[in-house]
């Protein structure tokens, strides 16, 4: 639950009211999860997977770490599956992530899409006998269009497509 107040006194009053209400139903507020944040001073608030600060929202650090762990598990350099199978697997994660975090700050998805591309380039680099992460010349060998042609869901273009009208 998030309660927005204009002044410190209103926040204290709201907290007392919520504590009274929860006590009346036999519950109490969790002391660690409860906190007051002054939005004007920064610091922000993590709630429902988002970090809210200065009028913007983006995925919180823990959500990003879970995303990277999930994609990382699917895109290990020694993954023996075909690129098509890997992309199908990654697309499930990307589509679910987009569906939930589509209301984020506009710069979030470009960084993540670049990271996913690097992971896929690393697989292809390894298959050609190279070492390390996909970088440098790998971007010319396997540009983003290469992965798009093979069906990779684009977090960058998805918001535009979602905003377009479904009727013509």
pLDDT for res 155: 92
% of the chain with per-residue pLDDT over 70: 96
Contact 115, 68 (CB under 8 A): yes
% of the chain with per-residue pLDDT over 90: 49
pLDDT for res 53: 81
Question: For tokens 């690393």, what's the residue?
Answer: 122
pLDDT for res 38: 76
Tell me the domain boundaries of the chain.
8-56, 60-163
pLDDT for res 166: 59
H or E element in which residue 93 lies = helix 83-101
Q: What is the pLDDT of residues 13-60, one digit of tens each?
A: 998 999 999 999 999 888 887 777 776 677 788 888 988 887 788 999
> 61-65, 134-138, 141-145: which range is least confident on average?
134-138
Q: Tell me: pLDDT of 168 over 60.
A: no
Question: What is the DSSP track for 22-85?
Answer: HHHTT----TTT-----GGG---EEETTEEEETTEEEE-HHHHHHHHHHHHHH--TT--S-HHH
Q: Tell me: pLDDT of 145 over 80.
A: yes
Residue 105's CB: how many other CB atoms inside 10 A? Answer: 15
pLDDT for res 89: 96
Contact 57, 104 (CB under 8 A): yes
pLDDT for res 39: 67
**DSSP code of 21?**
H
Q: Tell me: pLDDT of 121 over 60.
A: yes
Q: What is the pLDDT of residues 77-96, one digit of tens each?
A: 888 899 999 999 999 999 99
pLDDT for res 131: 84
Contact 37, 43 (CB under 8 A): yes
Please tell me the pTM assigned to this model. 0.77
């Amino acid at each position: 639950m998030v309660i927005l107040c204009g002044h410190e006194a209103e926040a204290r009053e709201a907290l007392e009211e919520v504590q009274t209400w929860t006590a009346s139903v036999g519950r109490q507020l969790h002391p660690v999860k409860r906190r007051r944040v002054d939005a004007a001073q920064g610091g922000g608030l993590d709630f429902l997977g988002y970090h809210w600060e200065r009028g913007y929202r983006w995925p919180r650090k823990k959500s990003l770490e879970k995303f990277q762990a999930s994609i990382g598990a699917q895109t290990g350099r020694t993954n023996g599956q075909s690129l098509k199978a890997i992309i199908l697997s990654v697309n499930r994660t990307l589509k679910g992530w987009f569906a939930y975090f589509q209301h984020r700050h506009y710069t979030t998805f470009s960084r993540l899409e670049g990271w996913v591309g690097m992971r896929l380039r690393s697989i292809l680099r390894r298959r050609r006998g190279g070492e390390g992460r996909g970088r440098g010349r790998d971007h010319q060998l396997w540009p983003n269009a290469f992965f798009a042609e093979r069906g990779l869901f684009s977090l960058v273009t998805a918001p535009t497509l979602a905003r377009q009208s479904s009727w013509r």
